[in-house]
Amino acid sequence: MAARAIVYENNGDPASVLYAVTLPARAEPLSGRSINVKVLLSPINPSDVHVVHGSYAVQPNPQKLNINGEEKTLYLPGNEGLGEITEVGPDVKNLKKGDWVVFSKGQSGTWSSAQVLEEEDVIKVDQGSGISAVNASTLTVNPVTAYKMLSTFVDLKPGDWIAQNAANSAAGQAVIQLARGRGIHTINLIRRKDDFAETERFLKGLGADVVLTYDDIPDEERVRELVGGKEVRLLLDCVGGQATKDTVRLASKGAHLVVYGAMAQEDIQIPPFLLVFKDIRVRGFWRTGWFNSSTLEERSQFLDELVQLMVSSKFKESVHEIVKIEGTLSDEEATLKVREIFGRVNKGTGGTKIILEVETRQSL
């Protein structure tokens, strides 16, 4: 039994540069605080595509691997996923065989069947909480981003209102659900499309209070009516450009605008008078930056709290499709299947998240 990994040697379009390799079986038993993790599920996130293209701020560490007797320097992509502990070294304290874990370090190379890591590279997820495998495998990017933004900049209380753009994104959907779980109301901006009614129904099903297109943002007085005289003190922006300017129109005096993405690939635009006279405060949020600067204990506590909230508020799984890379496939067959998947990802999957299940290579 040997591990399979999806790798690349050079940056480029994932549909062209990714390939599958089989890694030699490990001979020695685990030592010290090492752990062996079977990767159960690993999603494909938009940022992963940027990583493979080489256009993201971070890259996986290069690894020297022996592939069919040849030493190669390869990159193992995949940032998020759910693992199960299959073996622990003699000095491992807080993990045991069968535990579920998520990956604490970014770019762990989760598009693989198994990994040998150290105890501090993972964070335990309480399987007893009742969280589903899909929700656990997609925990550390979007729900963490959403929940951290909801709890960092403004002290929100039940009954408070927030607003966000690109509300139909995976992060936006997590914001809606986690806000609802805390009793916080949301105004959600989406683009005008023929299927507005359907998207509105979907987002309201997740707990959205108000869904609007950018073209239908009402004036200040009507906004105040919408929120029942409350304030909108937090605005989340992952678009940039004109959308920032539209979104900030919903802000109350002294509100925080938090930028966490740049879908429009344009500079944010804000009228200076909103900063000067309305005291709007603009900040950025970067999940990876927070993860890297926080202690393992802080992250672990945060994830426990988040998992509890997700379970208690019946957090719905993302619309998703699990694609299995079967252990019976040869590396060549697996490579074809992987590239086919990324061909679909490149064209857009219409909001359906693809989650990989890379099986251990069988009968080599």
What does the binding site for its own copies look like in residue numbers (CB under 8 A)? 57, 240, 245, 259-262, 267-286, 289
Q: Between 281 and 337, whose beta carbon lies closer to its own copies?
A: 281
CA distance 107 to 90: 26
Q: How far is the CB of 312 from its own copies (least distance, A)?
A: 30
CA nearest to 356, candidates 28, 60, 39, 86: 39
CA nearest to 227, candidates 255, 185, 166: 185
Could you give the C-alpha distances from 117 to 83, 239, 360, in angstroms and in order?
11, 36, 17
**β-sheet bridge partners, residue 323:** 356
Annotated catalytic residue 8: no
Q: Between 281 and 316, whose beta carbon lies closer to its own copies?
A: 281
Task: Count CB atoms within 10 A of the CB of residue 152.
Answer: 14
Q: Between 259 and 341, whose beta carbon lies closer to its own copies?
A: 259
Q: Which of 8, 19, 56, 147 is catalytic?
A: 56
Determine contact, residues 209/185, Cβ cutoff 8 Å.
Answer: yes
Q: How far is the CB of 242 from its own copies (least distance, A)?
A: 9
Q: Between 130 and 289, whose beta carbon lies closer to its own copies?
A: 289
Q: Between 144 and 334, whose beta carbon lies closer to its own copies?
A: 144
CA distance 7 to 271: 45
Q: Between 100 and 260, whose beta carbon lies closer to its own copies?
A: 260
Q: How far is the CB of 153 from its own copies (least distance, A)?
A: 11
Note the Cα 360 to chain centre separation in Å: 24
Q: How far is the CB of 257 from its own copies (least distance, A)?
A: 8
Burial class (CB in 10 A: 0-12, 13-18, 19+), 125: buried
Six-digit token pair at 293?
A: 């600067």
Map residue 8 onto helix, strand or coil.
Answer: strand
DSSP for 63-112 reads: EEEEETTEEEEEB------EEEEEEE-TT--S--TT-EEEE-SS----SB
Q: How far is the CB of 289 from its own copies (least distance, A)?
A: 7
Burial class (CB in 10 A: 0-12, 13-18, 19+), 74: middle
Q: Between 277 and 333, whose beta carbon lies closer to its own copies?
A: 277
Q: How far is the CB of 293 from its own copies (least distance, A)?
A: 10
CA distance 139 to 89: 26
Element spanning 332, H or E? helix 331-347
Q: How far is the CB of 255 from its own copies (least distance, A)?
A: 12
Residues in the chain: 364
Q: Which positions are catalytic?
A: 56
